[in-house]
Chains A and B, each alone.
Chain A
Amino acid sequence: MSTLTSDTTTIEAPGTTAAALDGTDAIAMAFQGLELTGQPAWLQALRRHGLERFQELGFPTLHHEDWRFTNLEPVTRLPFRPAAEAGRAPLDLKAFPFAALPSARLVFVDGHHAPVLSNAGGELEGATVMPLAEALDHPRLGALAAQHVGRLAGQDDNPFGALNNAFFTDGLFVHVPAGISVPQPVHLLHITTTPGAAVHPRLLVVAEANSRLTLLETHVSTTGETFLNNSASEVFVGENATVEHCKFQDDSMAACHFGAIHSRLDRASHYRFHSISAGAALSRNQIRTLLDGEGVACILNGLYLTRDRQLADHHMVVNHAKPRCESHEYFNGILADQSRGVFHGRILVQQAAQKTDAKQTNKNLLLSDDATANTKPQLEIYADDVKCTHGATIGQLNDESIFYLRARGISQDTARRMLIHAFAGEIIERVECDAIREELDQLVWDRLEEHEAVSVRQNARA
């Protein structure tokens, strides 16, 4: 096993001859190995275009403005070996987060549908929840799926979205027809089990006018080794529809995780996206939200918890294309050890988007002197009648708050813990679905308590 290090992250590469290859070559070779015959022509074209687009863009370097804090050098040396099939080791569903959540659940192992672990697949109270591969072949829904897949992802300058287009095997497809409310959350659980694998999960959601949907996306792994999870999601929110979308990323501490997270929001729709990033040596969530009709209300809400030498990067563009829309972005980071949090948020207000109300905050709590936060909130405004604010903070816990709690009899350790949990709680409390919020709260609480920088007396109590 070799250890690849950069100035920010350590990524263990499993023993492989492909490590000698440059990533771009490894990707080209892997693509040649794909079995494309039998796939519809449009899909083959999408894949080829994805590969070409990736090759055109290449791996971004630190010289690229959008990547200046996230060194991908270790990623370029990954083997990019597609997982041809799901790992065979038996999996105990109970071991994974949100497994007990009452939900319509589709489970994917190494990018492949695992029907045994899933409890959904087909009609659901008027909506459809099924594996994307199945949807693309579906007599009634195939055209709809084909029309939307790849419409947003891979069409911009994100090479990893293009890479997903080239390689995705399967994913979750949700179609909510007009006026339908899906009563329970729809859960995409992705489990990576194969060390060294490159998996490319996909999510496609078409929520038509006046529909309602709660969506949960969980990424976990059973291997502690390096792998690449390169996910892409496309969420289309129709007129006056409401979609809450929660992504919980807890991949192996040696993994690389990329998320190309796209949404297009129609008139008067509501979209609430939560990104909870806890795992992976290196993670990058690239969020692109297009407010494409009047009167949209959109919340992008994120929490990243990092330790050791982890790097968690959120890169966001909120594109206000139409008048009278609201967007609020809240991202908090809790950074321990030598870890790094990167936040880049751009609010783009196009000329037509008068009366835009946009607000963005990024707050970083450093639990160690060696932790780093890079934050870059940005406003780009071409309309003249708008209300836009942004702000960012990087700091330690507030001494005034600690003293106030201590002056009421609460110990210094407990006061610190309360404030750290509260910092996470600010984000978690925006999750509207009670069951998801409560479990998320517990997951984040436990994760924080595991860390000595939060719970200095953890060993004493145990």
Chain B
Amino acid sequence: MSTAPLLDIKDLHAGVEGKAILKGFNLTVQAGEVHAIMGPNGSGKSTLAQVLAGRDGYEVTGGQVLFNGVDLLEMSPEERAREGLFLAFQYPVEIPGVNSTYFLKAALNEIRKHRGESELDAMEFLSLVKEKMKILELREDLLKRSVNEGFSGGEKKRNEIFQMAVLEPRLAVLDETDSGLDIDALKAVSKGVNRLKAPDRSQIVITHYQRLLNYIVPDQVHVLLDGRLVRTGGKELALELEEKGYDWITQQEAVTA
């Protein structure tokens, strides 16, 4: 029982508008592990993230996803979040008129209620938020603004990780969080992610490039190609990919096929 994985994806098939994208995807993530999923454009990386978070419009046509032993695919997006799943969006949405603090407090209290914990009042929430903002080196005035509105690309990504730091999910899925980040933002984001590492928390880092993995060190690296994982290895696999490019794997696949 103690070895039951936090996330267990078996033979997952999914797509959009009748187009198959994930074609038999398998992945097991144990508590405390960091997994990197790398792959070229169109390999299904973002579809995986969206299917896990429960976005409408993505159809699951086969397979199973167990989160902490429970069928994830049966849950609404908000239930998944309350159960401890967090998606750091590749393109965080701007929501004019919804205050960042108000939004995040509402989210945290929903999750706390679900866990049977007491809701935080304004003062408690504020002190928590201030502590987390320091880690992400976020300007405090961003919290007074509407959610993501007028944020720079880097600020949006930092804000995702900041939300993750506040919500403390059991499983965080980072969907190309490194894209469009300069080196300072990349370091700040990585620092935030690494701070959250704990024996009972896991992370799936989805990325196109190896660069992020200099800062967030994965336990396992997987290569996603045409909807399936075709390689799994240690962090050295990422370096090898960086050096040889995705063509190297594509060609090998063609040879074995």
Contact = CB atoms under 8 A, between A and B. Distances in A.
A376 B108 CA distance: 42
B82 interface: yes
B76 A406 contact: yes
Nearest to B91: A400
A401 B93 CA distance: 6
A370 interface: no
Interface stretch (A87-95, A267-275, A351-359, A419-427): A419-427
A407 B77 contact: yes
B162 to A, nearest CB: 12
Contact of A411 (B98, B104, B110): B110
Contact of A425 (B76, B81, B82, B97): B97
B66 to A, nearest CB: 20
Contacts of A405: 95, 98, 103, 107
Given A403-B55, A419-B98, A409 B93 contact: no
Nearest to B163: A408
A403 B53 CA distance: 9
Given A399-B56, A411-B110, A414-B106, A406 B78 contact: yes
A422 B100 CA distance: 12
Interface in A392-416: 398-401, 403-412, 414
A445 to B, nearest CB: 12
Contact of A403 (B77, B86, B98, B103): B77
A428 B54 CA distance: 34
B97 A423 contact: yes
Contact of A406 (B81, B89, B97): B81
A397 to B, nearest CB: 11
A19 interface: no
B103 A418 contact: yes
A411 B92 contact: no
B69 interface: no
Contacts of A412: 76, 78
A408 B167 contact: yes
B96 A422 contact: yes
A409 B104 CA distance: 10
Interface in A228-266: none
Contact of B53 (A400, A407, A418): A407
Interface centre among A406, A418, A419 (most CB of B within 10 A): A406
Contacts of A400: 93
Nearest to B57: A399
Given A404-B93, A419-B95, A422-B98, A409 B103 contact: no
Contacts of B206: none
A289 B146 CA distance: 31
B196 interface: no
Nearest to A427: B97
Contacts of A406: 54, 76-78, 81
Interface in B80-94: 80-82, 86-87, 89, 92-93
Nearest to A413: B78
Contacts of B211: none
Interface in B33-69: 53-56
B114 interface: yes
A403 B167 contact: no
Contacts of B146: 422
A409 B110 contact: yes
A442 to B, nearest CB: 15
Nearest to A420: B97
B111 interface: yes
Given A411-B110, A418-B106, 6 more contacts: A403-B77, A406-B81, A407-B54, A408-B103, A422-B146, A425-B97
12 contacts: A400-B93, A403-B55, A406-B76, A407-B55, A408-B107, A409-B108, A409-B114, A418-B103, A419-B97, A421-B97, A422-B95, A422-B146
